[in-house]
Amino acid sequence: MDNNSDIIISQEEDNQEDRDTQVSQDQKEEKRYEIEEEEEEDEDEEYEEEEEEEEEEEEEEEEEEEEEEEEEEEEEEEDEDEDDNNFIQYIKEAKSNSNNKTNNGYGGNSHTKSPIPTSNDPKKRKFDNFESKDEEKEIEDEKINISSFSERENQLLNRFIKSEKERSAELQITKDQLNGSIHKNKIEYEKNLTQLEKRISFFEQKILKKNNKIEKLKTIIQEKENFILDIQKNQNKSIIEQIRSMEYLAMIKKILSEHHNYSFEEGEEHIIIESLMNQIK
């Protein structure tokens, strides 16, 4: 009976050692998973911080570009308005000067025009020659005025053409800048798209890694459950066998002692009884 108790105790100790070993392994595995999780969280935080810094830099660059474009547009509008106002002022001045000269000369206002004497008026015949000279002078002055006015208009027209050419050149520069901006935005878009694809790939890999961990944990849990079931099964089987063995030993010992007057030496009874049990089985 003492040996059987020792066997049971020894088996229980072995089972307890197995359980302790498994628990220790589980704790180490859980600690390793926790460290990996912390490292992944740190990587995610660093990645997100880098993304935020890049986005802030891009926003600042876009704001600076927009401010520069607005300033250029305002300067262009001011230049255009100034050119238009100057041209209009030139035209008004030219017309005003022409009208003043015309009104003061021949064919102007009837109130200021000198009366033309007729040949039937004997009192004014002596002024005919004088009036004729005045008319010729006025006509000559008018021709000079017309020539001067045409020259002034040509100057204004040339200035206007020059202004339009400068404006056309500025528009071409603006067009080139817009094309450059479009090209730059396209490059920026492709860069952002590449970063987005990398980020998607990063999270896909992370999700895949998480899924693999989950599957591995499921496998470990299943193994633990099977291990526990095996231990319980072996314990139950061992207990049943031990109980049966003890019952057989007690019964055989009783039979041999009572009916055959057989005395056992210390340790011998177990050998004989175990031999008989093996034959019975």
The CA R_g of the chain, rounded to the nearest whole Å, is: 59
Identify the residue with better confidence: 278 or 200: 200
Instruction: Tell me whether residue 27 is in a domain.
Output: yes
Which residue is associated with the tokens 């880098």?
50
DSSP 126: G
**Domain presence at residue 117:** no
Domain count, the chain: 1
142 located within any domain: yes
The residue length of the chain stands at 281
Helices (H), the chain: 2-104, 128-259, 268-280
In a domain, 115, yes or no: no
Residues 110-130 pLDDT 10s: 444 444 444 454 444 444 454
Query: What pLDDT does residue 266 have?
Result: 53
138, 106 in Cβ contact below 8 A? yes
Instruction: Note whether 134 and 105 are within 8 A (CB).
Output: no
In a domain, 112, yes or no: no
Whole-model pTM?
0.33
Among 150-164, 245-259, 261-275, the least confident range = 261-275
Q: What is the pLDDT of residues 47-104, one digit of tens each?
A: 788 878 888 888 888 888 888 878 877 877 777 677 666 666 666 666 666 566 555 5
**Euclidean distance between the first and the last CA atom of the chain, given in angstroms as a whole number:** 20
CA distance 211 to 41: 16
Which residues constitute the domain of residue 148? Answer: 2-106+124-280
Domain-located, residue 76? yes
**Domain presence at residue 256:** yes
DSSP letter at 116?
P
